[in-house]
Structure 1
C-alpha cells in the first residue's frame, strides 16, 4: 500500500504518513462491512494520495496568489484565502451537525471515493436511500457557504 502511495506522491516519507493516516481513519470509523477489504483499502490509499496532491496543488496556488501581480494585490489574495478557509470551517461545522449515517455516507462517497452502489451494499441500504442522504448532505454544505458570515453582516441587517 505504501509503495502504491509513494508512486503517486513521489515521496516515501509522505507515503508513510498517508498510509498511517489511512490506518487511523479506518481504525476510528464506525464499523462498515466491506466485501473485499484489501481492494477497499488500496482504493482508499489511492484516493488519499490524490487528495494529498490536490491539497498540495491548492496550497501552491494560494501561495503563488499571494505574490503581488499587476492585476491582483497581495491583500486581495490573502482575503480570498481567508474566505476560503472560513468557508471550509463552515462546511466542516455543517457536516458535524449532520446525522451520523448521513455524514458517514457523505464521507464514504466524497473522501473515500465509494460509489452510491458500494455504499448502499456496505451499509445495507437502498441506493435511493444513499442518494437521499447525499442530497441532504450536499444541500447542507451548500447552505453553509451561501449564508453570510456572521462577521461580514452589516449592523442592523436582517438575518
Structure 2
C-alpha cells in the first residue's frame, strides 16, 4: 500500500499576469457555460468580459483553484443576468403599452391623469404635518414607528394622520371636482 499523499496544490496567484493566464485558459469553458444558461453566445461573451473586468480591477484573490472559482462566478453571473431579465420582463408586462387602435386606452389614460391630479390636490389641501407623514410612508417607505421617531409624535398619532390622508385621497377619487366647462365658440348657442 502506498501512503495517501495530498494532491499537489496549484501555485498561488501572485500577480495579475497569473490571473490573466488562468482566465485565458478557461475563457472558452466560461463562455460555453454562460451561453448554455442564457441562450445567447453574444450575451455570454459580454458577461464573461464583465467577469474579467471585475477581477482585473481588484487585488488578486488567493483561492484554492482559480479556474473552478471563475466557473462558479460565471455561473452566478449568468443567474443574476437571467433574474434581471426576468424582472425587466415582469415590469414591462405589468405596464402594457396601450393599443393606439383602441380609443378607450386614450380615455383610460386621461382618466388616470385626472385621478392623479385629484389626489395631488387633496394631498396639497392637507395640513403640512399630515402630508409629510403620508409622504414619508407612501413615497419613502418608512414604517409608522420610524415616522413617529423622526417627527416626534406617538405611533398612534402617525396612524391618525395616515387615516386622515387616506380618507382625503379616497374622497378625491369618489367625488372629483366638476370638470371646467369649455367656453363655447363665438356665434354658437351657449
TM-score range, shorter-chain basis?
Answer: 0.5 to 0.7
CA drift of 1:66 comes to 2.8
- Structure 1 gap segments, 5+ residues each: 1-52, 69-73, 154-159
Contact 2:130 2:162 in 1 (8 A): yes
Structure-to-structure mapping, 1:58-77, within 5 angstroms: 60-61=95-96, 64-68=97-101, 74-77=102-105
Contact 2:148 2:158 in 1 (8 A): yes
Moved over 3 A (4+): 56-60
Under a length normalisation based on structure 2, what TM-score does the superposition of the two structures give?
Answer: 0.44
- Listed one character per residue, the Cα deviations across residues 6-64 of structure 1 (whole Å, up to 9, x for unaligned) are xxxxxxxxxxxxxxxxxxxxxxxxxxxxxxxxxxxxxxxxxxxxxxx9xx859952xx2
CA drift of 1:115 comes to 0.2
- Structure 2 gap segments, 5+ residues each: 1-87, 182-190
Under a length normalisation based on structure 1, what TM-score does the superposition of the two structures give?
Answer: 0.52
Flag the 1:57–1:138 CA change in 2: closer, same or farther, 3 A. farther
Are 2:130 and 1:97 aligned? no
Q: What residue is the counterpart of 1:147 in the other structure?
A: 175
SS in structure 1 at match of 2:141: coil
Higher helix share: 1
SS in structure 2 at match of 1:65: coil
Residue of structure 1 aligned with 2:140, choices 83, 95, 112: 112
CA drift of 1:96 comes to 0.4
SS in structure 2 at match of 1:66: coil
CA RMSD between the two structures: 2.5
Contact 2:100 2:106 in 1 (8 A): no
Which protein, 1 or 2, shows the higher relative CO under an 8 Å CA cutoff with sep ≥ 6? 1
